[in-house]
Homo-oligomer: A and B are copies of this chain.
Amino acid sequence: MIDFPHIAEVCQSTPSKLVMLVVDGLGGAPHPDTGRSELEVANTPNLDALASRSACGLTLPVLPGITPGSGPGHLSLFGYDPIKYTIGRGVLEALGIDVEIREGDVAARGNFCTVDDQGKLVDRRAGRISSQESVPLCEQLDQIEVPGLEVHILPVQDYRFVALFRGDGLSEDVTETDPQILDVPPRRVEALNAAAAKTAEAANALIEGAQEVLGDRDRANMVLLRGFSQLPHLPQFGDSYRLNPAAIAAYPMYRGLSTVVGMTVIPTGSTFADEVATLEEHFAEHDFFYIHYKPADAAGEDGNFEAKVQALEAVDAYIPRILDLEPDAMVVAGDHATPSILAAHGWQPVPALVHSKLTLGEGVPAFTERACAGGSIGSIPATQLMFLALAHAGKLVKFGP
């Protein structure tokens, strides 16, 4: 939709069904002791068998060396150039706690912080106070009245919260208050243009209110706000590809991302088992399903190689149930790598497969980084994976006479 300006010309709506399973943090990296990655160690007979009759390759989420957050990683898989289309930090943080963001709202990511008696920062994260301590503080801050608009303070986790501004004439074009260094006071919010004056004023009023509420405390006696942002205007996924797309995700942020690109979010439970049951139940209703698997990323972020191996083995067990639905094309991909040796998202290319009745004679022996590198898809930008998926589902016609 993005890389290829003629995509609308070549897309056709068909009854064929496409399932895209996104294994969050799918890719890994070889362990220094064994030389084998998480996927290479994991016992994943179903993914391996599927890879042996699929077109396989590697996807690059952004550019070599560039590590994507969850936003760019997913946008890229959905076909949006992640360099051109961005989602602000405040909005993404709000989506991650299932907050409804409306057109015109401004969301900021907030931190509790600690300042000394001269107002200078001594801890930008207020000792990473627990949710137990921060949730009541958020409730107090939520009472602050800012004339002319609604302001909500919504706890995220530990020292983090979302500040949501709702009203007419708001703008995301304001500066952040976090100076990123200690021993200076937090900055004031400044408008970057005349249209943003009201937002800057409201944000500063909120901060002054917070100072009053929190000022007597020893720690978490001040707040920092950054990532002021509004809902981006993204081309809608369904319109662009002529699909009726649905998203199934247990975690709020992925539901939020799906909403932003215009997918229908189907309510589901909190586990991948729930997600698969939801897919089965609603399979007749849409022609595209994005289904999200989180645990691989979480284990990788923890730097827990063995837990990531187990998370990959766990998702493998669900592959037969998804294939039993007989989707015309099935994609298994990842939004980014989360190598356990990094204990964080990584920049590494991510294995991907596209399976259809046309790929039965293709394939690689295993669904791993190394095996997929030798697959027929080769190494492609993640933004182009949707084209292959649509082609295999018979949803693309010839380009040009």
Report how far A339 CA is from B361 CA in the complex, Å: 12
* Residue interface bits A343-381, CB-to-B below 8 A is 1, else 0: 011011100000001101111000001100110111110
Number of A residues whose C-beta is below 8 Å from B? Answer: 73
Residues of B within 8 A of A6 (CB): 83
The segment from A161-169, A217-225, A382-390 that touches chain B is: A382-390
* Residue interface bits A1-27, CB-to-B below 8 A is 1, else 0: 001111000100000000000000000
Asked if A83 contacts B5 (CB within 8 A), the reply is yes
Residues of B within 8 A of A147 (CB): none
Number of copies of this chain that the complex holds: 2
Asked if B387 contacts A376 (CB within 8 A), the reply is no
Report how far A380 CA is from B378 CA in the complex, Å: 11
Asked if A358 contacts B378 (CB within 8 A), the reply is no
Is the C-beta of A67 less than 8 angstroms from some C-beta in chain B?
yes
Asked if B66 contacts A4 (CB within 8 A), the reply is yes
A residues apposed to B, CB below 8 Å = 3-6, 10, 29-37, 58, 62-72, 82-83, 86-89, 92-93, 227, 339, 341-342, 344-345, 347-349, 357-358, 360-363, 369-370, 373-374, 376-380, 384-392, 396-401
Q: Can you pick out 27 interface pairs between chain A and chain B where the beta carbons lie within 8 Å of each other?
A: A3-B63, A6-B83, A10-B66, A29-B362, A32-B361, A34-B361, A36-B361, A58-B378, A64-B380, A64-B387, A65-B384, A66-B387, A67-B398, A69-B399, A71-B400, A72-B399, A82-B400, A86-B400, A87-B401, A89-B401, A227-B401, A341-B361, A347-B391, A347-B396, A373-B374, A378-B379, A379-B379
Q: Which 7 A-B pairs have the closest CB atoms?
A: A65-B387, A30-B361, A32-B360, A72-B400, A65-B388, A69-B400, A65-B391
